[in-house]
């Protein structure tokens, strides 16, 4: 598939949101704690007896829909928003956050970018769209003086973890209690990946 990636404006978030972020959860990475944590943590993949579909845009009261929440919650004027086309309709999308006041994921660093969101239409998955978007996001962040790209995912998104690992990211943190304040995902584990640029 020939992939064309285009930067979009804030006014095109509704088009961006037409790209589905939903995926099927068939296994999870369970955190195994050794010697109370002093011996380290290990991720062990476990198949689920009852798989389910996870859709971040539909979570919580009113959904987490990016077109509703992002511009209201954050100053996204410096962020990079991208659509990937494999034809006349969006096949994927990605957003990169840089140099934004109040974004804890940026760790107060000017040299860190966050891959805030990446999504690929179900029918386009496995065709290089995600790789093209990740590469584009990394290049865009590098052009803005960033030395690392940070990515957050969860232990319920095993395919995303494999994707990031295969593309050179390294697991920098396992936060077992990262979502305890969000009842609908309180049992999920936050996994933070870093890509050196």
Residue 74 clears pLDDT 90, i.e. is over it:
no
Tell me which residue of 191, 108, 112 sits closest to 156, measured CA to CA: 191
Q: What is the pLDDT of residues 181-193, one digit of tens each?
A: 988 899 999 999 9
Query: At residue 131, does pLDDT exceed 50?
Result: yes
pLDDT value of residue 141: 98
Domain 4-20+76-196 has CATH 3.10.20.90: no
97 band by pLDDT with thresholds 50, 70 and 90: very high
The reported pLDDT for the residue numbered 63 is: 44
pLDDT at 25: 97
Q: What is the pLDDT of residue 11?
A: 87
Q: What residues have CB less than 8 Å from 73, skipping those under 6 apart?
A: none
Helix (H, G, I), strand (E, B) or coil at 113: strand
pLDDT tens by residue, 148-183 = 999 999 999 999 999 999 999 999 999 999 999 988
Res. 67: pLDDT tops 80: no
Query: How many Å from the N-terminal Cα to the C-terminal Cα in the chain?
Result: 26
């Amino acid at each position: 598939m020939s992939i064309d990636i285009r930067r979009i404006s804030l006014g095109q978030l509704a088009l961006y949101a037409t790209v589905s972020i939903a995926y099927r959860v068939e296994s999870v990475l369970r955190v195994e704690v050794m010697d109370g944590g002093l011996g380290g943590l290990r991720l062990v993949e476990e198949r689920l007896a009852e798989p389910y579909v996870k859709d971040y845009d539909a979570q919580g009261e009113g959904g987490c829909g990016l077109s509703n929440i992002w511009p209201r919650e954050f100053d996204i004027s410096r962020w990079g928003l991208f659509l990937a086309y494999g034809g006349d309709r969006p096949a994927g999308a990605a957003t990169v956050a840089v140099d934004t006041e109040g974004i804890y994921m940026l760790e107060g660093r000017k040299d860190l970018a966050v891959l805030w969101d990446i999504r690929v239409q179900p029918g386009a998955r496995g065709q290089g769209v995600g790789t093209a978007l990740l590469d584009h996001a990394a290049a865009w962040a590098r052009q803005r003086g960033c030395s690392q790209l940070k990515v957050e995912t969860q232990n319920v998104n095993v395919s995303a973890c494999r994707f990031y690992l295969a593309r050179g990211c390294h697991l920098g943190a396992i936060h077992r209690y990262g979502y305890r304040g969000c009842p609908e995902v309180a049992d999920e584990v936050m996994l933070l990946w870093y890509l050196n640029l």
